[in-house]
Amino acid sequence: MIELRGLSKTFVGRDGSTVEALRNVDLKVTDGEFLTILGPSGCGKTTLLKTVAGLVSWDSGDILIDGTPVTGPGPDRAMVFQSFALMPWATVVENIAFGLQLRGVRKAEREERARELVRTVGLDGFEKKRPGELSGGMQQRVGLARALAVDPQVLLMDEPFGAVDEQTRRLLQEELLSIWEKTKLTVVFITHSMEEAVLLGDRVALMSARPGEIAEIVPVPLERPRSSDVHALERSTAYVELTAYLWDRLRDMHEEHRRGVAAGGASGGAG
């Protein structure tokens, strides 16, 4: 289980200015859950994910995984970014096996594991290709396979399909659903898409505009498994109504934030 208690984070710029990214965030993610996080741009979603990964420090509060405090990166967590972050000189197999190499796994063993994952993410025949020879969708499949290679308990995904075209995005969503249905990893997945949040998640954590707080946790009433009939799910009444509800909530948040900024500016001008 992942547990966040009263998590707060403020960034201080070189000029001394401050940006409050997160404020008093409380959140629990159960073992094997697929939690999606949705919120306005700049609300602190990525900061939240990076704190769980141990890549960013925080000012107050606690993060625990299975009751153990997070103090930095650990082998129990793997992260997939929107940018593919692959080594351009390395082959597909070498990129996937990189984390295992860092852990001292023997070459034959790590390459065997990498080749298994090549098949899992549908890259058969591309084992010896380098990132520059792959499409964006293929590169993201490599990034996903690299994260899976180290057998994490928790998979943290920061808009992983945001940089690919819509057709590829749909294929990757189905691929991820299929992989999750087999592995039952605990997944925390950030997205800007209401449709993606509903299609993938068991619950959607809706964050407020900055400073980011958990505004609402919305259960997703869609049956699993989902990978075999995504199109039918997207035509269902529950899917349509929930995506519409999330859009209404986000639109209200944008409007409230805009009014708040305008009021603050007006007050500042008068003062």
Residue 159, SS3 per DSSP: coil
Residue 266 has pLDDT above 60, yes or no: no
Distances (CA, A) of 239 to 45, 159, 161: 23, 20, 20
Contact 95, 86 (CB under 8 A): yes
Helices 107-120 and 136-149, axial angle in degrees (round to 10) = 130
Top-confidence range, 53-62, 160-169, 221-230: 53-62
Rounded to two decimals, the pTM is: 0.90
Residue 2, strand partner residues: 29, 65
pLDDT tens track for 6-35: 999 999 888 888 999 999 999 999 999 999
In whole angstroms, what is the distance from residue 84 CA to residue 92 CA?
12
Residue 189 has pLDDT above 80, yes or no: yes
Per-residue confidence (pLDDT) for residue 67, from 0 to 100: 93
Per-residue confidence (pLDDT) for residue 259, from 0 to 100: 74
Residue 268 has pLDDT above 60, yes or no: no
Residue 269 has pLDDT above 70, yes or no: no
Instruction: For the chain, give the mean pLDDT.
Output: 90
pLDDT tens track for 73-127: 998 999 998 877 889 999 999 999 998 888 889 999 999 999 999 999 989 999 9
Q: Which of 131, 149, 27 is nearest to 78 (CA)?
A: 149
Name the token pair of 252.
Answer: 């209200």
